[in-house]
Amino acid sequence: MSSKSEEYLKQRMSETNFKKIKNLENEKLFGFLREYVEILNPKNIVVCDDSKEDAEMIKKMALETGEEKKLAQNNSTAHFDGINDQARDPLHTFFLTDAPIDPNIATTDRTAGLKEIREIMSGMMKNTTMIIRFFSLGPLNCELSMQAVQITDSPYVSHSEDLLYRSGYEQFKKMKDKSRFFRFVHSEGELTESLVSKNLDKRRIYIDLNELIVYSANTQYGGNTIGLKKLAMRLAIKLASDEGWLCEHMFLMGVNGPNSRKTYFTGAFPSACGKTSTSMVTGENIVGDDIVYIKERNGKAYSVNVERGMFGIIDGVNQKDDPVIWDVLHSRKEIIFSNILVGPDNMPYWTDSGVAIPESGKNFSGEWTKGKLDSKGKAIPASHKNARFTLRLDYLKNLDSNLDNPEGVEVGGMIYGGRDADTTVPVEEAFDWTHGIVTKGAGIESETTAAALGKQGVRKFNPMSNIEFLSVSIGKYIKMNIDFSKKLKKVPKIYSVNYFMKDETGNFLSDKVDKGVWLKWMELRVHNEIEAIKTPTGYIPKYEDLKFLFKKVLNKDYTKELYEKQFSFRCSKWIEKLDRLEKQYKDTIPDTPKELYGEYEKQRKRINELQSKKGDIVSPFNL
């Protein structure tokens, strides 16, 4: 017998589209779709399954509506967001909750928030087509994956998600728990003549943790609308905290070791600290560049890349530093370029690419010529600083073969990257899991540069590089990371890296390519094949091992002088770092786990003992 929700949907959809919904046999899904079809009141409804025909239909819709335009480069398109809709909107992004989560996390009353977003969305699709799609966050037929349904009226958003995520219509049929799935409701709202969201004053991104639903209205920018990315991550972190697994803002990569061995690492880095470049190191294999799920199985930690694509910042991508991505961006592959410059030759251009920028073209501001000023009299760049490329990972020649492995991959090591000029050595191994989580993961700081903010040397606190996306309190999040190892018989090793140490004249002590050596050292350490030097904060490489690896990996001579500069222990600087971190936790994070303070106290004691015996700056040869 059909439910009321089924009967309603049958009346609103064509027979073909309704059949696709009915075949999923999911009453919770039916009820969700009925509610938002009623609220949004679309002119038409399109339901997509996993077929190539449906994927092609969405791409065609994106071109027909004008949300994307063909480029001269075969199979590539350009999309532009509004000039004031170029980034995530933290001022209008809230968790809908009945009680506050954490003083650092923006929340609003759930009842009032739901009332507001439903009013804003009322009738929003009356002149447009609703697209309903299904996706799998993670490989198909994988117990680590999560299923999701997306409602949107933007073919660009739907097309982007098709590149970024695995189609999951058939997965919905296989779900054991038919109530456990993520839901996303998006409408770009009324559009201007330039086909960008008009009512930005009513832009809202609301996240309902009770029902695992994300609402996004009056916006087109991918970070606000591609629900399965950072918005889904917020849902997953809450679910993970309830169920005892981890959702992390990490890359996943395979590092090739001796005798055809491959060891998998995850890595969390704040912006501009080397995350993507590490995951794309020459000679290694990328599984994913942004988000992972990590779960225990048979006493080991297994991970999957939630995505199958890359939504990457294109600013600064060049042939020398990013050869693999560069080749793809100049190929005949299907790519969406957003907020770049389209030149007179109908080709994409972006800032700091190493290629001359045309004097005119079209960009996020409309028709553009060099020297064009914005409303504040500031020059508008050719491409936006946050311009992006959207592509599938299987375009990359260094893609790992386990991207779609339903078993996931065993995690051998976890890397936490930061940015400072004077404290943290290029690579270091934690003493154990808890020490690594609280001193390296929860101790991440990213140092600002003069070019970025006009004030150099400010350390930005960012535990696990995930503070922007947490849906549980910071203290609870750290505790769930600490406790995860209790499930494990084989515990991954934890490392910190810092590519930005400088000498006394302000020059970087490491080259960009050196990270390939640090990865090889970590891979050997995971398997206990080389020894290390114990410092108050962890284990560092021996000189002879690095000398060998620099020659083998990069064919570079590595001197004792450079090693000493890079790996000397700086006692006072470390005490300053611990003081900053402890103050941050005591002042702003009331539920900081006791393990953190315990590890910091032990670390401080070790540093003070070393300083009293051997001075303030201690050579690695004297450790």
Q: Is the pLDDT of residue 453 over 90?
A: no
Report residue 79: phi and psi, to 5°: -130, 140
Q: Which of 376, 395, 414 is the last residue of a domain?
A: 395
> Does 520 share its domain with 587?
yes
Question: Of the candidates 237, 188, 192, which has an alpha carbon nearest to the alpha carbon of residue 215?
Answer: 188
How would you class 221 by CB atoms within 10 Å of its CB: exposed for 0-12, middle for 13-18, buried for 19 or more? buried
pLDDT tens digits for range 242-278: 999 999 999 999 999 999 999 999 999 998 899 999 9
CATH code at 299? 3.90.228.20
CA gap 497, 268 in Å, rounded: 10
Beta pairing, strands 409-418 & 262-268: parallel
Q: Would residue 77 count as lying in a domain?
A: no
What strands, in cross-sheet order, belong to the sheet with 360-363? 348-349, 341-342, 360-363, 366-369
Reduced DSSP (H G I as helix, E B as strand, rest coil) percent helix, strand, coil of the chain, to 5: 35, 25, 40
Contacts (Cβ under 8 Å, ≥6 apart) of 481: 246, 437, 441, 442, 464
Candidates 143, 184, 188, 138; CA nearest to 164 is 138
Residue 79 lies in a domain: no
Q: Give the rounded percent of residues in the chain with a pLDDT score beyond 70.
A: 98
148 and 26 in a common domain? yes
Residues 201 and 190 in one domain: yes
DSSP 552: I
Domain membership of residue 75 (yes or no) is: no
Q: How high does pLDDT run on average in the chain?
A: 95
Q: Which two tokens stand for residue 401?
A: 């073969």
CB-based contacts of 480-484 (< 8 A; 24+ apart in sequence): 480/240, 480/241, 480/244, 480/246, 481/246, 481/437, 481/441, 481/442, 482/433, 482/434, 482/437, 482/438, 482/593, 482/595, 483/244, 484/244, 484/245, 484/246, 484/294, 484/296, 484/301
**β-pair type (93-97, 107-109):** parallel
For the domain that residue 174 is a member of, what is the CATH number?
A: 3.40.449.10
Q: Residue 81 domain-assigned?
A: no
The 10s digit of each residue's pLDDT in 63-90 is 999 999 999 998 999 999 999 999 999 9
Give me Rg for the CA atoms of the chain.
Answer: 25
Q: How many domains does the chain have?
A: 3
Encoding tokens for residue 178? 């038919």
Tokens at 336, concatenated: 């969406």
In this prediction, residues 345-362 reach a mean pLDDT of: 96
User: Among positive and negative, which fits the CA dihedral 23, 24, 27, 31?
Assistant: negative
**Domain end position, chosen among 395, 424, 453:** 395
Is residue 238 located within the same domain as residue 152?
yes
Q: How confident is the model at residue 43 (pLDDT cuts 50, 70, 90)?
A: very high
Question: Do 437 and 557 reside in the same domain of the chain?
Answer: yes
| Shared-domain flag, residues 599 and 618 | yes
Rounded Cα–Cα distance for residues 528 and 45 (Å)? 57
Model confidence band, residue 212 (pLDDT cutoffs 50, 70, 90): very high
Residues 496 and 583 in one domain: yes
Q: Does residue 76 lie in a domain region? A: no
User: CA-to-CA distance for 466 and 474, rounded, in angstroms?
Assistant: 9
Instruction: Write out the residue range of the structural domain in which residue 324 sits.
Output: 311-395
Q: pLDDT exceeding 90 applies to what percent of the chain?
A: 95
Give the CATH number of the domain where residue 352 resides. Answer: 2.170.8.10
pLDDT at position 225 over 70: yes
Mean pLDDT of 455-481: 90
Q: Are residues 434 and 329 in the same domain?
A: no
pLDDT band at 450 (very low <50, low <70, confident <90, very high): very low
How many whole angstroms separate alpha carbon 91 and alpha carbon 72? 38
Q: Which has the closest alpha carbon to 128: 212, 65, 34, 221?
A: 65
**What is the C-alpha separation between 608 and 603, in angstroms, rounded?**
9
The 3 state secondary structure assigned to 538-568 is EEECCHHHHHHHHHHHHCCCCCHHHHHHHHC
Report the C-alpha gap between 52 and 58 in whole angstroms: 10
**499 within some domain:** yes
Please give the average per-residue pLDDT across 104-108, as a whole number.
Answer: 92
Per the listing, tokens 């990490």 go with 250
Flag whether 589 is in a domain. Answer: yes
Same domain flag for 16 and 66: yes
CA distances from 518 to 43, 124, 251, 307, 326 (A): 56, 52, 16, 26, 24
Half-sphere exposure of 546 (CA within 13 A, CB side): 23
Question: Any idea which residues carry the catalytic annotation?
Answer: 273
Give the amino acid at 521: W
Q: Mark whether 452 and 507 lie in a shared domain.
A: yes
Asked whether 424 and 518 are in contact (CB, 8 A), the reply is no
How far, in Å, CA of 467 to CA of 462, rounded?
6
Confidence of residue 448 (pLDDT cuts 50, 70, 90): confident
- Residue 143: what pLDDT? 94
Residues 262 and 276 in one domain: yes
Domain assignment present for 315 = yes
pLDDT score of 557 more than 50: yes
Closest CA relative to residue 167, chosen from 15, 303, 47, 22:
47
> Average pLDDT, stretch 27-37?
97
Same domain, 315 and 379: yes
Q: Which residue's entry shows tokens 């996303």?
A: 184
Which secondary structure element, helix H or strand E, spans residue 369, and what is its range? strand 366-369
Report DSSP state, residue 190.
S
Among 242, 262, 281, which residue terminates a domain? Answer: 242
pLDDT at site 2? 75
| H or E element at residue 493 | strand 493-498
pLDDT digits (tens, 9 = 90+) for 197-210: 999 999 999 999 99
Are 292 and 266 in contact by the 8 Å Cβ rule? The answer is yes
- Annotate 59-112 with three-state secondary structure: HHHHHHHCCCEECCCCCEEEECCCCCCCCCCHHHEEEEECCCCCCCCCEEEHHH
